[in-house]
Structure 1
Amino acid sequence: MSIFESGQSLDGPSVGEQVARFLGSVRGDPVARADLDMSRVLEELRALAPEPIEDLTPEAARRQPTPSDAVKALIEKTGLKGAPDGVVASDVRYPGAEDDLPARIYRTFGDGTPRPIVLYFHGGGWVCADLDAYDATPRAIAARTGAVVVSAHYRLAPEHKFPAAHDDAIEAYRWVIEEAEALGGDPSRIAVMGESAGGNLAINVAIAARDQGLPLPTHQVLITPVAGVDMETPSYQINEHARPLNKAMMGWFIGHALADAGAQEDPRLDLVGRADLAGLPPTTLITAEIDPLRWEGQALAEKLRAAGVAVNAVDFEGVTHEFFGMSEVVRDARLAQEAVARDLVAAFAADERGARVGRAL
């Protein structure tokens, strides 16, 4: 349950908040453009005192407070008590490209009939984060759609350079197809979904499925995806010093994830410049105003449309990168989750109707 669904509300901006937002606007701080609920999450994150990860080793960066930690701190401060969401999570392992890797299965209670499946990949620049840091999104999608959601971890850089994560993501998709029935799912209704670097993995799974003759995902959901390699786009310029993601951090992620600069020419990374996007499944694509990746996400939506792919692209103003999983305290996150859930439910229903017609024939 969110603040909004519970009927609770946060107080209006304090004098201190008003002054901080005014001074931020004068200084050109992109965070000053954040909605009040979003800015309060950012203030909680600042209070947790994370060090700039671009100054850290990967090992130290992985120990830093995360936006999800800030959300938890804000929930504790407001005294919000969430209602049970009916979602049960269980940890398993799946065979990655080189070794078994962690995955988490999210299910709601039901009548035992096979359900659609959403294969989800978390963010973290291919260097940081894990299933716990990105627990909120798969949990919310399971609750809102009734689908079985599989959150698959993957090998991280720099210990495992590109394309290790991409190879693992494809193997996770193969595993979900093979184990769909054992997971309580319907192998004919599988969607892929990811946030940030995970959004890049999700669309590359769809591309690999097309190219390798695997069943194509029913739908793909790309949340603030990494879609290009140009760090001089308009959104990089205006959000150079944004939080929780900025230009210096993206440079740090890329520097650790790739073996050499030449890898940036790989179409799996330069989706907007080099990838063939024809024949991909219908797509929901979410972008955020205060995000260096906004421009490339919107460019990806246009390139998908030009390739003949049906796209529902929704841009949310006043929120930052990683806002999507913050529905308990950020109104636009709740609205974004509702939009994604509607698209997934509609896509799964259309596929189920098609399957029934096929069986009848």
Structure 2
Amino acid sequence: MRSPMSGHRDFTPSIADRLTKAAMTASGALPGRLIQLAAGAPRRIDGQALDPHFQAGLRVMSRLSEGEYEDMPLAQARRTVERSAFTVSGDGIDLAVVKDLVLPLAGDDPARADLPARLYSPVHGDEPLPMLIFFHGGGWVLGSIDSHDATCRYIARTGGLKVLSVDYRMAPEFLFPTAVDDAVASFRYVRDNAATLGVDPERIAVGGDSAGGNLAAVVCQQTRDAGEKTPAFQLLFVPATNMSARTRSFELFGEGFFLTAKNMDFYENTYLRSDDDRLDPRASPLLAEDFSGLPPAHVATGGFDPLRDEGEAYARKLADAGVKVSLRRHETLVHPFVNAVGAAPAARAALSEAVGALRMGLAY
């Protein structure tokens, strides 16, 4: 059996990191009108006003920045993402169970691998609860189960369900479609072993942010196309859905709002094998020919996000095909707001709203 890669990046927070986190957490508890005094006049684009907590946070991050991810050595870029996520993660959220495990997916297939994962549960024991299988963001290149730990804890506690965060293999070590294959295999494993995992087999959802939202959407398409039992729900935060074209939101928000157009170029060029992959629905799920028969969905986009328009286009395609879908544009937020639960009340509100949609979709 092949050894799984580590689910942890090479990052240990320094005293300065801990002080930054404490300051961000404290500011995240303050009302927006006070933060606005420090953030300055709100930035307004496309009829939207940037949330003051995010405006102030972007100012802080720019001063602490080590540069752009695409200009760093890969190891440094990965550490920087972990540091950024740590500083906005807030106070720890205690749960009954937070357990690292390994999904035994390799079998006899040399192209497969056992994958690290982290299980979150609000209860002890094997009570069959609903489950969200979560795929982290980071452009298929950066991020980890650690960078999204606070997000998954928040969802598990607020939603009263189990969350399984999967550390799928990433580029450039593993190119497209490896991450897709890992995501599909992870869902199949949970679906086929629900009783052992203490999971309600009729209430298994998939979700993720950005690249993770992309993977969750593709899992739904791939299992439907294979004639299999699909996820019961898809929870898509700021999903990347189309690598074949750029939208107006790239022009409006491609610089200065955390995720940049150059970041996306770097991620896609690192992840894909060639430009031909951009037209593959496993990379660009918006290009799928058929949207019927897919699971119900909640799609949450950020108003100040280059990926805003393609995420919303995906929701409209689902709706046009008769799929039950709720689309919510959080006009004041940037990409990826789901990580900032400790630093911005609006991020917490958006995540709580999405969890409510998940509960409605899974009917529990």
User: Shorter-chain TM-score: what band?
Assistant: 0.7 to 0.9
Shift of residue 15, structure 1, vs aligned partner: 5.7
Aligned to 1:17: 39
Could you tell me whether the CA contact under 8 Å between 2:133 and 2:187 is conserved in 1? Answer: yes
Q: 2:324 and 2:277 mapped to 1: Cα distance?
A: 29
Specify the code of the residue in structure 1 equivalent to 2:34: G
Shift of residue 312, structure 1, vs aligned partner: 0.4
Matches within 5 A, 1:115-194: 115-194=129-208
Aligned to 1:354: none
Could you say what secondary structure the match of 1:63 adopts? helix
Could you say what secondary structure the match of 1:64 adopts? helix
Aligned to 1:71: 88
Q: 1:327 and 1:319 mapped to 2: Cα distance?
A: 12
Corresponding position: 1:109 with 2:131: no
Aligned to 2:51: 35
Matches within 5 A, 1:123-272: 123-272=137-286
Could you tell me whether the CA contact under 8 Å between 2:29 and 2:343 is conserved in 1? Answer: no
1:88 to 90, 97, 101: 97
**Greater CA drift, 134-143 or 8-17:** 8-17
Q: 1:88 and 1:43 mapped to 2: Cα distance?
A: 36
Identity %: 34
Aligned length: 333
2:344 to 330, 338, 355: 330
| Structure 2: runs of 5+ lacking an equivalent | 1-23
Structure 1 residues 280, 197: closer, same or farther in 2, change over 3 A? Answer: same
CA deviations on 1:124-162 (whole Å, 9 max, x unpaired) are 111111110111221111101111110011111111110
TM-score by length of 1: 0.85
**Greater CA drift, 32-41 or 316-325:** 32-41
Q: 1:113 and 1:15 mapped to 2: Cα distance?
A: 48
Q: 1:349 and 1:14 mapped to 2: Cα distance?
A: 39
Q: 2:311 and 2:97 mapped to 1: Cα distance?
A: 32
Corresponding position: 1:61 with 2:83: no
Aligned to 2:12: none
Give me the CA root mean square deviation.
Answer: 2.6
Shift of residue 182, structure 1, vs aligned partner: 2.0
Could you say what secondary structure the match of 2:34 adopts? coil
Q: 1:164 and 1:158 mapped to 2: Cα distance?
A: 11
CA deviations on 1:61-85 (whole Å, 9 max, x unpaired) are 212245413315xx5xxxxx56x54
CA deviations on 1:37-77 (whole Å, 9 max, x unpaired) are 112322332233231112224333212245413315xx5xx
Q: 2:75 and 2:288 mapped to 1: Cα distance?
A: 32
Could you tell me whether the CA contact under 8 Å between 1:191 and 1:218 is conserved in 2? Answer: yes
Q: 1:40 and 1:92 mapped to 2: Cα distance?
A: 37
TM-score by length of 2: 0.84
